Amino acid sequence: MRPPTICDRTLLKLIDKQGLSQAETARRLNVSRQAVSQRLKELRGQQTKVTVAKKVEQVVDRKLDAIDQLQKINENANELLDLCMAWQRGDDVALQILESQRTNRTVRIGDEEIDAQEFKFKDPRELALKAMAEIRNQLRLQLEIFATLYDMKAVAEFQNAVLEAIGEVDHDVRTRIIQKLNSQRAIRSAVRFS
């Protein structure tokens, strides 16, 4: 097979970005329309693998961002849980933090003024239970993220394996399947559900 004489980047720029027809693109590149058509078929066939790989890569990047965010939230929830449990046990450091939540007020009861201390906090057992529930929800979400990521990788690997097997048997059938998948993807992305 002869190496392509058409620069793929230029070809795709003219077709996709500038919206030129294949005939106009062929004139600008000084090649035949058939050469442009054939090269586009080859490129569009390769595009499915690239698209799947890019989508998986984007999801992996987002997953990592989500995991980082979950990690931060989890650290804060665990810190709050530790503090609540320490309050419950009567730990000196935790009680000192509790003291920082105290305000002194003067309260008038009849003619007499009394110094009163006001604490602004909930029952540490209730806060501990809420922190535990948050941690449990985070673990569930993390499991869902990993399961989705694994499923996407498995689908991409399966698709590549099937296309390679078909390509070994009949390269033209493989190319037609890829073109069909690409056209269906284009139709799905053009339709917006409301």
- Residues 23 and 12: their CA atoms lie apart, in Å, by 14
- Cα 50 from Cα 45, distance rounded (Å): 10
Percentage of the chain beyond pLDDT 70 is 76
* 47: in domain: yes
Task: Indicate if 78 and 172 belong to the same structural domain.
Answer: yes
- Identify the residue with better confidence: 149 or 86: 86
pLDDT value of residue 48: 45
Q: Alpha-carbon torsion 147, 153, 159, 164, what sign?
A: negative
Are 126 and 72 found together in one domain?
A: yes
Report yes or no on 136 lying in a domain: yes
3-state secondary structure of 119: strand
pLDDT of 66 > 80? The answer is no
| In a shared domain, residues 41 and 18 | no
Domain membership of residue 76 (yes or no) is: yes
Separation of alpha carbons 162 and 174, rounded Å: 9
**Separation CA 51–CA 124 (nearest Å):** 51
The verdict on residue 175 lying in a domain is yes
Same domain, 128 and 77: yes
Q: Does residue 24 carry a pLDDT above 50? A: yes
Same domain, 111 and 157: yes
Q: Tell whether the model's pLDDT for residue 155 goes beyond 60.
A: yes
- Based on the fold, state whether residues 2 and 82 are members of the same structural domain: no
Range of the domain at 53: 32-189
- 189's tokens: 């992305």
Q: What CA–CA distance (Å, rounded) separates 82 from 29? A: 69
pTM over 0.85: no
Whether the CB-CB separation of 181 and 173 falls below 8 Å is answered with: no
Q: Are residues 169 and 156 in the same domain?
A: yes
Shared domain check, 2 and 46: no
Q: Please write the tens of the pLDDT for every residue from 81-132.
A: 888 888 888 888 877 777 766 677 777 788 888 887 776 667 777 888 888 8
Neighbouring CB atoms inside 10 A of 124's CB total 19
Return the pLDDT at 194.
35
Token pair listed for 50: 């690239």
Q: Per the domain annotation, does 194 fall within a domain? A: no
Whether residue 67 is found in the same domain as residue 111: yes
